A and B are shown apart, each in its own frame.
Chain A
Amino acid sequence: MTFITANWNPLGDAFYRKTELYDMCWDLKDALRDCLVAAAPYGGPIALLRKPLRCSPSSRPQLEIYSASGFAITSFPWKSGPLVHLGWTITDELLCIQEDGSVLIYDLFGSFKRHFSMGQEVVQNHVLEAKVFHSPFGTGVAIISGSSHFTLATNVDELKLRRLPEVPGLQGKPLCWAVLVQDRQIKVLLSSGPELYILDDTSCSEVHPPWLSPQAGSIIHMSVSFSYKYLALFTDTGHLTFYSQNKLSEIDTKRSTAPEQMVWCRRPNSQQPSVVLLWDRLLMVAGVCNDTIQFPIEDQCVLVGEMDGVRILSTRSHELLQEVPLVCQDIFKIASMAPGALLLEAHREYEKSSQKADEYLRELKEQSMLEEAVKQCVGAARYEYDPQTQKSLLRAASFGKCFLADFSADPFVETCRELRVLNAVRVSSVGLPLTYPQYPRIFKHLTLQVLTDRLVYRQLYPLAIKVCHYLKIPDYHGVSRVLRHWASCKVQQKDLSDEAIAKAVCAKVGDSPGFSYSHIAAKAYECGRAELAIKLLDFEARSGEQVPLLLKMKRSHLALSKAVESGDTDLVYMVVTHLKNEMNRGDFFMTLRNQPVALSLYKQFCKLQEQETLKDLYNQDDDHQELANYYVAASYREKRMDIRLSLLQSAVDEYNKAKNDFAAKATEDEMRLLRFQRKLDEDKATELLGLSLQATMEALLALGFHKQAEQLYRDFKVPEKRYWWLKLKSLAKKEEWEELEKFSKTKKSPIGYLPFVEVCMKRNNKYEAKKYVSRVMPEQKVRAHLAISDLEGAADAAIERRNESEIGIVLSRCAASDHLLIERLNRARTSTVKK
């Protein structure tokens, strides 16, 4: 720890360090050579496909999976087709891409999960090269086929294949290519000889990098940074060019062979980003600043890019190469006078019980740099991998903190807590070498559960639960998820009885919030343990979750009642349609009868889709009223008159059975009207069919068929009042004033005589209107006079009736010039009020 800077190498004005993460506990000998290797980012697992020992056609390659510390997790002979590429998803699943384009997915323990294909075309043409990439959409796969076509799967969990457009003139595979994420789109950058192309979903465009010097040669290797913001191109003349938006710089590596691997090495807020290049015996860190560091290497190595560095895997060790963060530089640089360095020194002296501690502290306090010093120590601790170094920094911070009056301890506490978790997962037996900057990345920005999920994938349940408790993750996101995973493993244990498993699961899980028993039940059912599944389903609180599984297990009745219980009508429909296909009609109807909610939903469905079934349902229930309504509705959908009438007759019968005499009578009337209309339409070529009774009479009157109108009036017992209105309006419309007068005298008008006045006025016939004013009832007299604009008459009527409001109405109609009248009305009003 004294020589903390011993492994620091200067690059420009920054330093790079190689930290040993693990002594690999695998025993590989030379195996890293000539085998497919895939190591997941964020300290994920390592997969190797080792060539068979003997080269006989019957021998199979061996697929081995190790933790980052080299612990063997599983190993099995590869029996499927030849593999082109291996890669890991963000959820620690292994993607094995075969030559024929099928992608096989395995979990961490080597059990096969599922597979998909990269398209029909690839089956014949074969995959030349494949890459696995991570983007905000998930983990994706990109391949280039023998016919030089690129195909992309953006997210292996939601498989959608995209075939990219053709690259002009490309034969075989390009010199090099890379996948990028730009503007929420996945693109492919490729070099074929001197040209550089960019491919997106719809187009292939050639890029002419003005920033690439013409003598640079062809691009034979390229690397995109972890964040997809930086690009490095390596040409066959040994030139390495760096870009972000623009060209950053260029460096001559003096090596013309393509490196085996080329990976960006930078961190957020990097001072000196660089690219790490790997050749057979050389590891070169080429900085954007034109400086390089060269490490000779003896072993076969594999580079794994991380967001804040590069991991170097070899047969013996596992190292992390990264730029030393500024805060660590400040503290540990030789002869540093940074506040943090002083505080660390102060604490060291204090532990030695030396008075120098006081001197250092005073100095810090005098320059009011103590707070800064504490922050630096806390900050540096986060980036140190060695727990001893972390501890000494944190102790120093804690020591300095005591001398600060109002200093929020939260960052300090938080850091301690987080480092504790990190150290716990870094230990060799767990083998998750996460760095601090990666931790918030996976832990906070992605989702809370990723870290625990990773432990869970490794079946490290107790540790995962401890972490959840320690970090106070809400149960819903934390412990419950761990338990879920545990339980789904548990139900697959073949050596335990159903009873024992159900008991064990229930005992451990209880009613942990957010725990889905149906999920576990589904797992059990998948493993052929239906009884266990039903036992587990009983614990499920969410009916929405139970239903699909119950259906699958052929417990339809139970499924239906659970669906109804949930209130989710879509779920009910799902069960109902399922039952409909599964049962015979009779049983189906009987089942529905016991579930009124389901029945009425099904009726709704039938109303829109299967009218005939609706009839059967009503029939079965002896629901005559509804059946009658059904026939009525049906009659309107029918064009042919005889069918229409027979449907209505059925409606009458059903109404009678339902003892709804009124409706039966009304429907009979309707049939009578229809017959009447049809007859008249035939005889007199009228167009009455479909009109209401009222409209029919109106039409008849308008056409002069008074006798027929009269007949309808009597036959249908039309109220006198309404008929009078009808006749009145009809006559007025035709301006048959004499007829109107005759009509008014046939008998005493049931609607009074005001309407007569009004219809006349509507036709502007004041002369006719006046004839009826005298016959208007006293209480409507005022209105009648006003209607013919006879103010005097209205005033007389109002005064005679001594009605205050009527006087008011007349007054409001008076113009200012009628002062005599106004006076009279006002007088009358006062006298009325007095009384």
Chain B
Amino acid sequence: MAAHLSSGRVNLNILREAARKELRVFLDKCAGSKAIVWDEYLTGPFGLIAQYSLLKEHEVEKMFTLKSGRVPPADVKNVIFFVRPRLELMDIIVDNVFRSVGTLHSSRDFHILFVPRRSLLCEQRLKEQGVLGSFVNIEEYILDLIPCDSDLLSMEYESAFRECYLENDQTSLYHTAKGLINLQALYGTIPQIYGKGECARHVANMMLRMKREFAGSQNQILPVFDSLLLLDRNVDLLTPLATQLTYEGLIDEIYGITNGYVKLPPEKFAEKKQGEGSKDLLTERKKLQLNSAEELYAEIRDKNFNAVGAALSKKAKIISAAFEERHNAKTVVEIKQFVSQLPHMQAARSSLANHTSIAELIKEITTSEAFFDNLTVEQEFMTGIDTDKVNTYIEDRIAQKEKLTKILRLMCMQSVCNNGLKQKVLDYYKREIFQAYGYEHMLTLNNLEKMGLFKPQTSSRNNYPTIRKTLKLWMEDANEQNPNDISYVYSGYAPLSIRLTQLLARPGWRSIEEVLKMLPGPHFEERQQLPGGLHKKRHQGENRTTLVFFLGGVTYAEIAALRFLSQMEDGGMEYVIATTKLINGTSWIGSLMDHPASKAP
């Protein structure tokens, strides 16, 4: 199921296997048949670790979603709650437990599995409510870094950025540090740690501290990673705001990829299923898994969308040529050989059909005037044109009642590219939002201001042009078809975060000290002592491996840019990417908004 995880430079399947083993051990602790009650948020991430078959092997017979009321009847010995350590979830569990008292199934055993960590606060809540004693097992399942693809790890911790920068709650960083320590236990101590940003510094400090605490349990594994780069999202606020222009990036921007799956409008896919009740098919969105296990997808996902069409038609030719082969197959041996390749070819053909459909869907949008206009404004901001006055396009879009997240994305982008906006401009925009979308967004705007995304200009100097020029963030002649620079992922804009990563590998950050000082937070370098004998003997021409950890989220376009760097022939560096959450501008801004008008906090 997860062969693709081991295909990369670093075998991430080891991590997955370790996580699966943990899960089995826990399930076996609860002897007998089981029902799992899921905190719905966890089902996605868990899907990347274990399918239902594994649970079934361990006598899990029923699965429910956690909600108030009674746990649905099921003839099982154990009821296990898989939950995040959150107080509001504890209240639901309490309700569940109370309501099962005195029912037919009151002899059932209850268990809780906290993911990723148990919390005293939650246990205390259970105790206050008088149900703590009802649980036979209360354990934690340490699931920090979840392997999403052969070179990608995510904590799927949605609120990390908000918590760190808005609420001064560094829980996510603690989990990050713990996750990295666990990672090192499997893949060896990472000898060098680089970082930029407050959070990066904090994580590195915690890592070093934890290592001291466990001093003596010397890790005897040959290090797989040569270095770790910790990057704060707030060092580069601009990149996630821009519309991603890679294939995968656009799928995410338009349809949203969650835990490796995308749900697509069914119309384009319906016709291929013949004979089935086509009406039902039309109503349900088509769910597709997207990862490097699919050969074609691995090939095109990181391309600029403008290069995808050509790649698809080339692939189509190859596949139809392969099918044509059957006419040349004369002897029995040849026919047998052809037949043996059929499943693979058919898979390739259906994959091609899927992606052709997706590409058509996306093309309808990218060729629209609205998309073009939006992109033009984004590019104007990024190149520093007219960032200091009220933008008419934004005004227009507000008048047209464009989605608020989209408006905020553009406004924040303008503010970031101008290093803050003049008070007059800022107030004008704010008033526009209040009047058109409601005064309740006062709190959201307040949040964005606190996080430096949408703020008043404090100094008269705008650093952004300097940073842009020094780091070559804008490339006039970005080659979308055969890229020679990372700027292809945004058709001109080279993501700042990735530029920093690239420059760290060569020629090193010393060359850009001045710019680094303009970006928020400290930059640093730490070494971790390796036990003797574990120093890698490097072969001639062997690439080094860096783990790049984005604290606060990373976009698919940034990942594409790093993959591009990994593939550069003279790069000498390969990257594995880790993050608190895979984001895009919309989901990111969405996570920073407050909705006082709706009930749920």
Contact A722 B395 (CB under 8 A): yes
Residues 612-629 of chain A: 1 if any B CB is under 8 Å from the residue's CB, otherwise 0? 000000000000000001
User: Which of B171, B399, B440, B443 contacts A721 (CB under 8 A)?
Assistant: B399
- A538 CB → nearest B CB, Å: 16
- In whole angstroms, what is the CA distance A662 to B435 when docked? 14
* A570/B216 in contact, CB under 8 A: no
Contact of B119 among A185, A570, A716 (CB under 8 A): A570
Q: Flag B421-441 by CB within 8 Å of A: 1 or 0 each.
A: 000000100111011111110
Q: Is the CB of A722 within 8 A of B77?
A: no
Q: Which residue of A lies closest to B122 (CB)?
A: A570
A582 to chain B, nearest CB (A): 14
User: Would you give the shortest CB distance from A651 to chain B, in whole angstroms?
Assistant: 9
- What are the residues of chain B within 8 A of A184 when measuring CB–CB? 28, 31
C-alpha gap A669/B442 in the complex (Å) = 12
Are A475 and B168 neighbours in the complex by a CB distance under 8 Å?
no
Which residues of chain A from 527 to 553 have any CB-CB distance to chain B below 8 Å in the complex?
Answer: 541-542, 544
Residue of A nearest to B442 (CB): A632
Q: Which of B31, B217, B400, B601 contacts A725 (CB 8 A)?
A: B400
Give per-residue flags for B302-324: 1 if the beta carbon is below 8 A from chain A beta carbons, else 0: 00000000000000000000000
B149-182 contacts to A (CB < 8 Å):
163, 167-171, 173-174, 177
Asked if A601 contacts B169 (CB within 8 A), the reply is: yes
B interface bracket (residues with beta carbon within 8 Å of A): 35 or more
- Bound complex: CA of A726 vs CA of B401, how far in Å? 10
The reply to whether B117 and A570 contact each other, CB–CB distance below 8 Å, is yes
Most buried by B among A514, A670, A716, A719: A719
User: Is the beta-carbon distance between B167 and A600 smaller than 8 angstroms?
Assistant: yes
* Distance of A669 Cα from B597 Cα, bound (Å): 17
**Shortest distance between the CB of A652 and any CB in chain B (Å):** 12
Q: Name B440's closest neighbour in chain A (CB-CB).
A: A636
Partner of B213, one of A542, A609, A691: A542
**Chain B neighbourhood of A673, CB < 8 A:** 439
Contacting pair A567 B173 (CB below 8 A):
yes
Q: Given A184-B31, A670-B434, A692-B438, does the pair A569, B217 have CB atoms closer than 8 Å?
A: no
- By a CB distance below 8 angstroms, the chain A residues around B118 are 570
Residues of A within 8 A of B216 (CB): 474-476, 480, 512-514
Interface residues of B in 200-225 (CB under 8 A from A): 202, 205-206, 209, 212-218
B36-51 Cβ-contact flags toward A at 8 Å (1 or 0): 0000000000000000
A569 near B439 (CB under 8 angstroms)? Answer: no
CB distance from A205 to the nearest CB of B (A): 16
Complexed CA–CA distance, A570 and B213 (Å): 18
Report A-chain residues with C-beta under 8 Å of the C-beta of B443: 629, 632-633
In the complex, which of the residues A201, A597, A637, A669 contacts B439, with contact meaning CB atoms closer than 8 Å?
A669
Q: B88 an interface residue at 8 Å Cβ cutoff?
A: yes
Asked if A777 lies at the interface with its beta carbon under 8 angstroms from chain B, I say no
Contact of B431 among A160, A476, A666 (CB under 8 A): A666
Which residue from B87, B170, B213, B432 sits with its C-beta under 8 Å from A719? B432
Check if B236 is an interface residue, CB within 8 A of chain A.
Answer: no
B401 and A541 form a contact (CB under 8 A): no
Task: Flag whether B337 is at the interface (Cβ < 8 A).
Answer: no
Q: Does B466 contact A (CB under 8 A)?
A: no
With A202-B77, A570-B121, A666-B430 in contact, is A596–B168 under 8 Å at CB? yes
Q: Known interface pairs A570-B117, A570-B121, A692-B437. Does A185 touch B31 (Cβ–Cβ under 8 Å)? A: yes
Is A567 in contact with B398, judged by CB distance below 8 angstroms? no
Could you tell me the distance between the alpha carbons of A817 and B435 in the complex, rounded to whole angstroms? 50
Instruction: Answer whether residue A608 sits at the interface, using C-beta atoms and an 8 A cutoff.
Output: yes
A474 and B218 form a contact (CB under 8 A): yes
Across the interface, name the chain B residue whose C-beta is closest to A662: B427
What is the predominant secondary structure among interface residues of chain B facing chain A?
A: helix
A567 B121 Cβ-Cβ under 8 A: no
CA–CA, A835 and B168, complex, Å: 60
Separation of A691 and B435 alpha carbons in the complex (Å) = 10
A574 B120 Cβ-Cβ under 8 A: yes
Within 8 A of A (CB), among B121-138: 121, 124, 136
- In the complex where A567-B174, A666-B431 touch, is A722 in contact with B120 (Cβ < 8 A)? no
Q: Is the CB of B217 within 8 A of A669?
A: no
**B32: CB under 8 A from chain A?**
yes
Which residues in B have their C-beta under 8 angstroms from that of A609? 87
Q: Is B121 in contact with A573, judged by CB distance below 8 angstroms?
A: yes
B12-51 interface (Cβ within 8 A of A): 28, 31-32
CB of A694 closer than 8 Å to a CB of B:
yes
Pair A607/B601 contact, Cβ less than 8 Å: yes
Q: Is residue B266 within 8 Å, beta carbon to beta carbon, of the partner chain?
A: no
- A636/B596 in contact, CB under 8 A: yes
Q: Beta-carbon contacts of A553-577 to B below 8 Å, as 1s and 0s?
A: 0000000000000111111011001
Closest Cβ neighbor of A712 among chain B residues? B435
Interchain CA distance A635-B136 in the complex, whole Å: 43
Map CB proximity to B onto A585-606 as digits: 1 under 8 Å, 0 otherwise.
0000000000011001101110
A692 to B433, CA, bound (A): 10
Whether the Cβ atoms of B212 and A541 lie closer than 8 Å is yes
Please give the distance in Å from A287's CB to the nearest CB on chain B. Answer: 36
A718 within 8 A of B: yes
A663 at the interface (CB under 8 A from B): yes
B106 at the interface (CB under 8 A from A): no
B213 engages A541 (CB within 8 Å): yes
C-alpha spacing A664/B601, complex, angstroms: 24
Please give me the residue from chain B that is nearest to A625 by CB atom: B446
Bound Cα distance from A191 to B302, whole angstroms? 70
Answer yes or no: B226 CB below 8 A from chain A CBs.
no
* CB contact list, A678-728 vs B, under 8 A: 690-694, 716, 718-719, 721-722, 725-726
CA gap between A542 and B206 in the complex, in Å: 12
Of chain B, the residue at the smallest CB distance from A726 is B399
Tell me how far the C-beta of B390 lies from the nearest C-beta in chain A, rounded to whole angstroms: 9
Taking a contact as CB atoms under 8 Å apart, the answer to whether A693 and B434 are in contact is yes
Per-residue B-contact encoding for A725-766, CB less than 8 Å = 1, 0 else: 110000000000000000000000001000000000000000
A633 to B173, CA, bound (A): 28
Q: Mask for B441-474, Cβ within 8 A of A = 1, else 0?
A: 0110010000000000000000000000000000
Binary contact track A475-489/B, C-beta < 8 Å → 1, others 0: 110001000000000
On whether the beta carbons of B596 and A721 are closer than 8 Å, the reply is no
Contact, CB under 8 Å: A662 / B594:
no
Q: Please give me the residue from chain A that is nearest to B220 by CB atom.
A: A474
If A201-B32, A718-B435 touch, whether A476 touches B217 (CB-CB below 8 Å) is yes
Q: Of A568, A662, A667, which contacts B430 at CB under 8 A?
A: A662
Which residues of chain A are near B213, meaning CB under 8 Å?
A: 541-542, 544
Q: List chain B residues, Cβ under 8 A from A632.
A: 440, 442-443, 596
Whether the pair B170, A513 counts as a contact (CB closer than 8 A) is: no
Within 8 A of A (CB), among B566-601: 594, 596-597, 601
Tell me, in angstroms, the Cα distance from A694 to B399 when the chains sit together: 9
Complex: A717 Cα to B71 Cα, angstroms: 55
Residue of A nearest to B395 (CB): A721
B231 to chain A, nearest CB (A): 19
Chain B residues packing against A (C-beta within 8 Å): 28, 31-32, 77, 85, 87-88, 117-121, 124, 136, 163, 167-171, 173-174, 177, 202, 205-206, 209, 212-218, 395-396, 398-401, 427, 430-432, 434-440, 442-443, 446, 594, 596-597, 601
Top 8 closest A-B pairs, CB basis?
A: A513-B216, A600-B168, A636-B596, A725-B399, A670-B439, A692-B438, A476-B216, A693-B435
Q: Can you list 27 A-B pairs, Cβ within 8 angstroms, ordered by A?
A: A160-B136, A201-B31, A514-B215, A567-B206, A567-B209, A569-B169, A569-B174, A570-B119, A571-B120, A573-B121, A597-B170, A600-B167, A604-B167, A632-B440, A632-B596, A633-B596, A636-B596, A662-B427, A662-B430, A666-B434, A667-B442, A669-B434, A721-B399, A722-B398, A722-B436, A725-B400, A751-B399
20 more CB-based (< 8 A) A-B contacts, given A632-B442, A751-B399: A202-B77, A514-B214, A514-B216, A541-B213, A567-B170, A574-B121, A577-B120, A597-B168, A604-B163, A608-B601, A632-B443, A662-B430, A667-B439, A667-B442, A691-B438, A692-B435, A693-B436, A694-B436, A718-B435, A726-B399
